[in-house]
Structure 1
């Protein structure tokens, strides 16, 4: 028999649609005020984000809010979802995890600030018997395997790099004369990288270039620089490169869409007849708009809605003591595929 799940948050406290940031504000207020004590028949989920400023992570958080509403309407149960913004501070995030556990959350969703902190969080969750679902930022395998109820939901960063590189390779093959501005048969590129040491940044950087060279194209790296997934930092880096290399830049690789949009901002501030080809990763709404406008050649769809759905399905199954309906690879992992996005298939993603 299914247990009826109650919420301490009334329908009137749910944020209006389209009001970005209110879900986190709401959660912060609930965390501070509490709900008047633990209710044994209420499913409480604590969600710790590395930063709400990341466009993709913000999208996942919004999708989780929608998934909660869908689960409530579909089952008649009520679910309380707390969300906390780590603001890129691991110590802040650790305090938030402690608070979730102290308040009796039944499941934790954690988007790590620092993947090396996974073991500490895993041990805290195991000590309280609370299932732990990491997402988007993958801990090392040893930390995932510390306990049978630790999971990871995300996508293979290597695949996203390969698809990004294939976008550039296809563009080169389709119109080499336009892309090869120097006419030397070599593709000159710059690379906007995410956080230093972050596995997504490392893998996307490596495999994007590898896909191009495996396709028989000789490349020359003009520059690479960390921009920490951040649009403003990427704009500053690109502006510097434009001054240094000018028309010599033929392709700008960006490890995510926010940085690709930063490159576009820099180019828009320095009008020129021809732009380099720019590619990103995530397929965020602003990036899809840039693809439609012809500013961003392409991006790679990171399924934020699919990740949120998988996390909710897994959390509900764990709460009910049922076998998860989603496929668990090696008993711990749920992998979602990436997909390349260009103007040719853009409508499909805009509809989503």
Structure 2
């Protein structure tokens, strides 16, 4: 009988190696199926030209890296229409969660509806929409304006003329900060709002607007309330150039580094601290929990704080 030759040892070793490799591949695939893949979160921000918004986003990036998740960030450039399209793109990419910093209360709302319909959790950060998202992380903008206007009222002894610089019209922060300011004005009948106009959160536009108001009202202006620091600093520059800053109180919101330095110099009388780091961090934390199907807070409100020369050291880094 003819004997069958045994396979060479090298062939046996190759077969064992191949079987081991197949087993490892199937284990890897199993781990991925069980949740081993990285979470992907789509982020659409109102405007990456706004320092406070950039600060919020920087903290998101930091926390995403710590949690080992991937962020896809896009800039809506203040366009609610573009923002809705960006969310549609995230849905098409099948991201695990979406974080939106809404451009407008009404016009950005369809983005929330679309995400929820696609069963993708969507978290609004810093600003709100009419349609309720999966969760909101931010601060009470009405309260921020109450704090600012109360400071102005006390500094003026409840009597004087105020001008107010609004943020981008139709955005939640603009609506609520105007509401909060008007609530305080009602409590002081001798405090008059003589001008109220948008400078769209922008320093250069605020400077131009303040120059126009100086021409129209001159020394009649006793105080400026700006809905954010960028506009407040623009107002300070115009008033300084006109030689009027020492006679006019200027208060704004956010406590960005430039504003804190202005408070230190005495050119900005006060700012209202809004915690960008906590907003960014909590938004990421909430998005991760929602994506994993874990319990999460539907609303996270981070308090505002008045910043003046007296307590400035607590906020300077």
* Normalised-by-shorter TM-score class: 0.7 to 0.9
Indicate the SS of the match to 1:94. helix
In 1: Cα distance, 2:108 partner to 2:197 partner: 27
**Contact 2:141–2:177 (8 Å) recurs in 1:** yes
Any idea what the Cα deviations from partners look like across 1:186-236, whole Å, max 9, x if unmatched? Answer: 31111111122333223322322432552x561122222111111111111
Q: 1:246 aligns with which of 202, 209, 218?
A: 218
Q: Identify unmatched segments of 5+ residues in structure 2.
A: 1-27, 29-34
Matches within 5 A, 1:1-352: 41-69=37-65, 71-72=66-67, 78-140=68-130, 143-144=131-132, 150-173=134-157, 186-211=159-184, 213-214=186-187, 216=188, 218-272=190-244, 274-324=246-296, 328=297, 332-351=298-317
**Contact 2:273–2:306 (8 Å) recurs in 1:** yes
Any idea what the Cα deviations from partners look like across 1:143-201, whole Å, max 9, x if unmatched? Answer: 116xxxx111111111011111121133235xxxxxxxxxxx83111111112233322
Q: Identify unmatched segments of 5+ residues in structure 1.
A: 5-38, 73-77, 174-184
**Contact 2:122–2:287 (8 Å) recurs in 1:** no
RMSD: 2.2
Structure 1 pair 228–162 and aligned structure 2 pair: CA distance change class (3 A): same
Offset of residue 51 of structure 1 = 1.1
Give the TM-score of the pair, scaled to structure 1: 0.75
State the aligned residue count: 284
Structure 1 pair 294–240 and aligned structure 2 pair: CA distance change class (3 A): same
Indicate the SS of the match to 1:344. coil
Structure 1 pair 85–273 and aligned structure 2 pair: CA distance change class (3 A): closer
Give the TM-score of the pair, scaled to structure 2: 0.83
Larger Rg: 2
